A = this chain, B = another copy of it.
Amino acid sequence: MTWLDLPADTGFGLTNLPYGIFSSGAADLPRTGVAIGDHVLDLAALTGDPVHATGSLNAFMAQGPESWAALRAQLTAWLTDPAHQERVTGHLLPRAGVTMRLPIEVADYVDFYSSQDHAENLGRMFRPGSPALTPNWKHLPIGYHGRAGTVQVSGTPVTRPHGQRKAPDDVAPTFGPSRRLDIEAEVGFVVGVPSALGTAVTVRDFPSYVFGVCLVNDWSARDLQAWEYVPLGPFLGKSFLTSVSPWVVPLAALATARVAAPARDVALLPYLEDAGEPWGLDLSLEVRLNGAVVSRPPFGRMYWTAAQQLAHMTVNGASLRTGDLFASGTVSGPEPDQRGSLIELSWNGAEPLKLPDGSTRSFLENGDQVTITAFAPAADGTRISFGEVTGRVVGK
């Protein structure tokens, strides 16, 4: 039990202790904090350790699992032993009063495509009459590199991108603002420990490299994407912005959330086997559009786990760097109200969403705000919150 007076069902109790980068005033240097209840604990000030004053989590993440575990144990002691109460209290700031920054310096950003429901939905919409999944889908976690430089913290305005769009009936592409601006509700994994070039990281070694988990909104311009993506994949349809939640939940907080991935109906090559090392995670996501819940995607059903994604990403010898971010791909469940993108929720515009204010949406309009939240179960029956990733669309 903490000596702190935590709000009921806070989501930021002792079982969570996520890390982020905050500043508390204009002249203030960004530094590392830990969310606890409605407060942020100023780790830079409390510990005096310069690793927490760098303005990103990277230096701490690079220290590896023993340091992560040691600090987590220390935090628990500080927040439970009344002997520390006076000193620690002096470094607690109301979370409502601080500004959250991008928590990591993103090295490489990879986006996967690991929800079978999502992949089948898109396959049905775009390749009617063909199998919903491409032949490789159940043999490997399909992924691609995204733009690391446009990964931004939650709250960053979503400037509607311009680009080339060409409808099937158009004779030539036209240029202008995207008319099919969409979201993708995803879960992101942050690499702490680098690996050597030429060496694969195994499924089993996942927790030796991955520091924690955040939420990702992979904003997507479907019209730009559709015209550009054959044959080399998505580019400008994605690269204008990817938003991440400010709090990185340590892997250590998610032991209770671990679940097995869905049963396989296609045999896996040995390097992707996760027998005895299930890294599925029972996270419950919610997507709100202008305040109304429009979807509740279940993360536990993802066909490929983050440990399998990591093993695949490095099996060719590609090295990892501290700050690498890899995202799950859109999280969709089997039910219509569990789909993690508007293109699925509105079935490519055929069934527009009805919002409580009476308006409808197939894609995002200027002024729209999208917020994604998630919870994981904790050992003591409470819930672990991932905070939120939010953004409002700005016309241009």
Q: Which residues of A pack against B, CB within 8 Å?
A: 107-108, 113, 134, 136, 139-140, 142-150, 152, 156-157, 159, 161-164, 166, 172-175, 197-198, 200, 221, 224, 227-237, 239-241, 267, 269-271, 312-313, 315-321, 324, 396
A200 contact set on B, CB distance < 8 A:
162
Q: Which residues of B contact A174 (CB under 8 A)?
A: 269
A321 close to B149 (CB less than 8 A): yes
From B140, B236, B319, A312 is in contact (CB under 8 Å) with B236
Q: Tell me, in angstroms, the Cα distance from A134 to B227 when the chains sit together.
A: 10
Interface centre among A144, A162, A163, A175 (most CB of B within 10 A): A144
Interchain CB contact under 8 A, A240 and B162: no
* Chain B residue contacts of A320, Cβ below 8 A: 149
- The answer to whether A175 and B271 have CB atoms under 8 Å apart is yes
Complex formed: what's the CA distance from A29 to B146 in Å? 33
Cα(A62)–Cα(B144), bound, Å: 29
21 contacts between A and B (CB under 8 A): A113-B232, A136-B173, A136-B230, A139-B173, A140-B228, A142-B231, A142-B235, A144-B234, A144-B235, A145-B146, A145-B235, A148-B148, A149-B318, A150-B197, A156-B197, A159-B317, A162-B316, A174-B269, A175-B269, A224-B316, A239-B316
- A230 and B134 form a contact (CB under 8 A): yes
Which 7 residue pairs are nearest across A and B when measured between Cβ atoms?
A233-B233, A161-B316, A159-B198, A145-B145, A144-B232, A236-B316, A232-B233
Is there an interface contact between B164 and A269, defined as CB atoms closer than 8 Å? yes
Given contacts A229-B231, A269-B164, contact A239 B142 (CB under 8 A): no
In the complex, chain B residues whose CB is within 8 Å of the CB of A164: 136, 139-140, 269
Smallest CB gap from A267: residue in B: B172
Query: Which chain B residues lie closer than 8 Å to A147 at the CB level?
Result: 108, 145, 318
Interface contact A233-B197, CB-CB below 8 Å? no
- Cα A198 to Cα B108 with chains together (Å): 21
Q: How far is the CA of A221 from the CA of B143 in the complex (A)?
A: 16
Bound CA–CA A301/B232 (angstroms)? 22
- Complex Cα spacing A236 to B140, Å: 11
Q: How far is the CA of A172 from the CA of B166 in the complex (A)?
A: 36
B149 touches A324 (CB 8 A): yes
**Contact A232 B175, beta carbon cutoff 8 Å:** no
Q: Verify B236–A108 contact, CB threshold 8 A.
A: no
Contact A318 B197, beta carbon cutoff 8 Å: no
Q: How long is the Cα–Cα vector from A229 to B142 in the complex, in angstroms?
A: 8
* Chain B residue contacts of A163, Cβ below 8 A: 315-316
Taking a contact as CB atoms under 8 Å apart, the answer to whether B197 and A235 are in contact is: no
State the Cβ distance, A114 to closest chain B Cβ, in Å.
12
A127 nearest CB neighbor, chain B only: B231
Which residue from chain B places its CB closest to the CB of A145 in the assembled complex?
B145
Q: Which residues of B contact A140 (CB under 8 A)?
A: 164, 173, 227-228
Docked CA distance A111–B223 (Å):
22
| A315 & B107 in contact (Cβ 8 Å cutoff) | no
* A315-B236, A316-B239 as given contacts; A227 in contact with B145, CB under 8 Å: no
- Considering only CB atoms, which chain B residue lies closest to A224 in the complex? B316
Q: Are B107 and A232 in contact (CB under 8 A)?
A: no
